[in-house]
Amino acid sequence: MPAVSKGDGMRGLAVFISDIRNCKSKEAEIKRINKELANIRSKFKGDKALDGYSKKKYVCKLLFIFLLGHDIDFGHMEAVNLLSSNKYTEKQIGYLFISVLVNSNSELIRLINNAIKNDLASRNPTFMCLALHCIANVGSREMGEAFAADIPRILVAGDSMDSVKQSAALCLLRLYKASPDLVPMGEWTARVVHLLNDQHMGVVTAAVSLITCLCKKNPDDFKTCVSLAVSRLSRIVSSASTDLQDYTYYFVPAPWLSVKLLRLLQCYPPPEDAAVKGRLVECLETVLNKAQEPPKSKKVQHSNAKNAILFETISLIIHYDSEPNLLVRACNQLGQFLQHRETNLRYLALESMCTLASSEFSHEAVKTHIETVINALKTERDVSVRQRAVDLLYAMCDRSNAPQIVAEMLSYLETADYSIREEIVLKVAILAEKYAVDYTWYVDTILNLIRIAGDYVSEEVWYRVIQIVINRDDVQGYAAKTVFEALQAPACHENLVKVGGYILGEFGNLIAGDPRSSPLIQFHLLHSKFHLCSVPTRALLLSTYIKFVNLFPEVKPTIQDVLRSDSQLRNADVELQQRAVEYLRLSTVASTDILATVLEEMPPFPERESSILAKLKKKKGPGTVTDLEDTKRDRSVDVNGGPEPAPASTSAVSTPSPSADLLGLGAAPTAPAGPPPSSGGSGLLVDVFSDSASVVAPLAPGSEDNFARFVCKNNGVLFENQLLQIGLKSEFRQNLGRMFIFYGNKTSTQFLNFTPTLICSDDLQPNLNLQTKPVDPTVEGGAQVQQVVNIECVSDFTEAPVLNIQFRYGGTFQNVSVQLPITLNKFFQPTEMASQDFFQRWKQLSNPQQEVQNIFKAKHPMDTEVTKAKIIGFGSALLEEVDPNPANFVGAGIIHTKTTQIGCLLRLEPNLQAQMYRLTLRTSKEAVSQRLCELLSAQF
């Protein structure tokens, strides 16, 4: 910018500011300002024309008065006149006044726009920058309409100065954010991408910000930016701090640009070009390596810049979720931050590890830090860090560590901050059921939860206990005994009384044989809590009493006395009064058989979708498909779904509440999604205005690679573009499975006529049964919908079904097809074998038709732990110390179909020197051996 000459000091302004500062009171300040306003008004209205310097000085004073909080209702025209000046300082003050004081509805906008057009056409870079800054600062729709077409031309013009390009990019970004519809896409979009190769780092930084915003709505127009961004990032990451001296911040080269480039890459899936992907992986590895180097400065600015790049790198690694080695390294790097003295770093590390825990590749690495996370939960001073520690414990929980994690959460719950107690209660309830091997432990855990934090136990949680107890015969007696003992405490939470009343009303007879829990003792124990409870709980207890009349005839007179009392029959609450009257009458006139029929034991609850998990997600805020962090690696989860029970009533036919299975795995069988598009020419008349495409779209690019990644894992992102994200989580047991498909709208615009369809070929249809139900045809911007698919494997198969999604976005018809990763190995059940049994069975499957062998080159690093994880993820049991060569891997399992069971043995022999594998599979069916060999070979 031009230097300000000594004569531009505006001494009058300096004196006025000094006078204001020296005022002793508010009244004195107002008096001085009013005097100055009168003077300025007289100067503007005087006969003598003011020169540019005087106008600038008086406009500056008005601007200062406005910034002090006083209204300014004149001087706007004088500021507009300053825009026509050829002096930089006068033009600058004019633009500054307009940016601050002129609103978008002003009558002067047309004059201002004319002045801006003149400056943009002047080719004077200083004046052009001032005009662009003003457009961005005002950012009104009127200015957008006037200049949205001109600014892109300035941005990509070959003769534009670097400073002008930088200002134009940021100005266009501001207009696009304010009014996206005003910025036309055209030839300039391809040229703006090449600004990433510009020599001026400021231009590149501004361009990256613009492209990142534009590509979210128009991904195809900017997809070429990926290779250029990788190239630029590679040059920055590999450069020394002395190479980019002007853009090096405390020995870190271009940290802001690096972060912006990494964020831009997160807008797209992994590069398809192997060379580009290899260069990007090299960049990410370099950043991780630099994080291990000793710091070049002790200043906090150095560590902040270095860590900003590191965390954005880890975010990109998590986004791709395709590089096992990088994911594990990222996890180990974050683990070092868990004990860092800086609170913000500990917070960010915990937050990032929550996402890493949902990846198949890094879940085990995350689990190694469990003790550190538990210690953070106990010792952290900052509540937000403790909350992230709870989130991470929840995310890393699986069947192997569930008792430990649940116990630690319960222990922390006693001293936890009130703001996060309800969330912890929900998580404990979900984990306790999801990983309950022994349901007596589950009952103990939930009752302990009610004891510790009863006020925060929502209805969904205690409903769920009752569902499980009713649905499982093996735990009913234990539950009755446990709640009876818990109710003997002098002070019981009301939720415990509800659980106790319901369970004893249904199963109190199972413990009535013990003199210490006789029917009369059970009744007196419950009735001692009656007067301390709210009306809904009293209503439930009255229903329990009438159940006792049926279960224990000997307590009938005692209960009738209670029902007959004035406090019940004349209760001010209509519900309690009605129950007392009806129950008393029922116990008096009904015969034993009628009473037994009306008050028979509640039937098992049908399976429904989850409400507790939904409650937790709602509490955490709207999510994307990354909500799949709830899914873990366990291939089988015990399901005891059901709607929440209504309080025990006189009717055997109850109306269940809409609560549901904690895991959402209990959805009842549903109707098919609809017939696949018919083949052939059965219908010659076609509705040309229909949204339904007559031809299913070909498979989306990259879908085959994503399909292969799901062979050894059950959850993750299956497909992603700039509009739609498709995530999966699935569970399989024997020949049955259930898959949850999550459709995420990544835009701010509705998807209309949203129709996903499952398509099975003629060969696949007899061998695989798929049932699902339609989803809501409208998907709101930023929202996510879920579809449940019930799967049955009838016989072995080789093909995979196709998921076709059709919808309208912004008036444009979209048609996407991906392969759904339902493969034969998903119906594997692992089988443990001793060495002798394995080789005996191996010899029995020695016919040439039963063995398939494949020798192939390793496509990924030959890492032992990764190989083990993939074999286990494939579905077979990994048999240790079976093969004489300890470097080999041996597995065994059974493929379950509806018609038959097929035993399978596998042997994987790695050759580290040659970087080769030999995979041998033996099954009782040749086609199965061939298919399993194809699927597993592609994983190494």
Q: What is the DSSP string of 344-400?
A: HHHHHHHHHHHHHTTSTTTHHHHHTTHHHHHHHHHH-S-HHHHHHHHHHHHHH--TT
Contacts of 915 (CB under 8 A, 6+ apart): 857, 858, 862
* pLDDT single digits (tens) 768-810: 888 888 888 888 888 888 888 989 998 888 888 999 999 888 7
How buried is 489 (Cβ within 10 angstroms: 0-12 exposed, 13-18 middle, 19+ buried)? exposed
Q: Which residue has the higher pLDDT, 239 or 644?
A: 239
- 341/755 Cα distance (integer angstroms): 51
Binding residues: 11-12, 43, 53, 57-61
Quickly state the pLDDT bin for 540 (edges 50, 70, 90): very high
- 326/328 Cα distance (integer angstroms): 5
pLDDT > 70: percent of the chain: 89
Quickly state the pLDDT bin for 601 (edges 50, 70, 90): confident
pLDDT exceeds 90 at position 27: yes
Domains in the chain: boundaries: 9-75, 335-396, 703-822, 825-938
The whole-number pLDDT of residue 629 equals 43
What phi and psi, each to the nearest 5 degrees, are found at residue 717?
-95, 120
Compute the average pLDDT of residues 385-390. Answer: 90
Compute the average pLDDT of residues 910-938. Answer: 86
- 668/677 Cα distance (integer angstroms): 26
The whole-number pLDDT of residue 674 equals 39
* pLDDT single digits (tens) 348-385: 999 999 888 888 888 888 889 999 999 888 888 888 89
- 429/415 Cα distance (integer angstroms): 18
Chain mean pLDDT for the chain: 82
* Fold observed for domain 703-822: Immunoglobulin-like (2.60.40)
What distance lies between CA 379 and its chain's CA centroid?
28
DSSP-assigned beta bridge partners for residue 472: none
Domain 825-938: homologous superfamily in CATH: TATA-Binding Protein (3.30.310.10)
- 416/726 Cα distance (integer angstroms): 36
* pLDDT single digits (tens) 855-905: 888 888 888 888 888 888 888 888 887 888 888 889 888 888 888 888 888
- C-alpha distance from residue 592 to each of 166, 459, 595, 747 (Å): 89, 33, 5, 64
* pLDDT single digits (tens) 273-292: 889 999 999 999 999 998 88
What is the token pair recorded at 318? Answer: 């998590």
pLDDT exceeds 70 at position 732: yes
Cβ-contact 384, 347 below 8 angstroms: yes
- C-alpha distance from residue 315 to each of 43, 241, 262, 308, 886 (Å): 60, 24, 9, 11, 37
DSSP 63-129: HHHHHTT----S-HHHHHHHTT-SSHHHHHHHHHHHHHH--TT-TTHHHHHHHHHHHHHS--HHHHH
What distance lies between CA 621 and its chain's CA centroid?
9
- 736/753 Cα distance (integer angstroms): 31
- 160/173 Cα distance (integer angstroms): 18
pLDDT exceeds 80 at position 578: yes
Compute the average pLDDT of residues 399-414. Answer: 89
Quickly state the pLDDT bin for 199 (edges 50, 70, 90): confident
pLDDT exceeds 90 at position 747: no
- 143/145 Cα distance (integer angstroms): 5
pLDDT exceeds 70 at position 254: yes
Instruction: Give CA torsion, residues 615, 619, 624, 625, to 10 deg.
Output: -40
Which region among 375-379, 594-598, 663-667 has the lowest average model confidence (pLDDT)?
Answer: 663-667
What distance lies between CA 671 and its chain's CA centroid?
28
pLDDT exceeds 50 at position 218: yes
The whole-number pLDDT of residue 62 equals 92
pLDDT exceeds 60 at position 672: no
Q: Given the structure tokens 């006020």, which residue do they identify?
A: 455
pLDDT exceeds 90 at position 208: yes
Highest mean pLDDT among 331-340, 612-621, 630-639, 675-684: 331-340
3-state helix, strand, coil in the chain (%, to 5): 55, 10, 35
pLDDT exceeds 60 at position 659: no
What is the token pair recorded at 423? Answer: 């969330």
pLDDT exceeds 90 at position 697: no
pTM metric for this prediction: 0.62
Compute the average pLDDT of residues 248-266. Answer: 90
Compute the average pLDDT of residues 152-179. Answer: 89
Cα atoms in the 13 Å half-sphere on the side-chain side of 292? 9
Cα atoms in the 13 Å half-sphere on the side-chain side of 729? 20
Of 385, 381, 336, 388, which Cα lies nearest the Cα of 357? 388
pLDDT exceeds 60 at position 528: yes
Quickly state the pLDDT bin for 104 (edges 50, 70, 90): low
Contacts of 939 (CB under 8 A, 6+ apart): 708, 711, 712, 870, 874
The CATH code of domain 335-396 reads: 1.25.10
Which contacts qualify for 335-338: CB closer than 8 Å, 24 or more apart? 335/368, 335/369, 335/372, 338/369, 338/372, 338/373, 338/376
- 827/736 Cα distance (integer angstroms): 7
Quickly state the pLDDT bin for 617 (edges 50, 70, 90): low
pLDDT exceeds 90 at position 209: yes
Neighbours of 853 (CB within 10 A): 12
- 465/441 Cα distance (integer angstroms): 12
What is the token pair recorded at 181? Answer: 């519809």
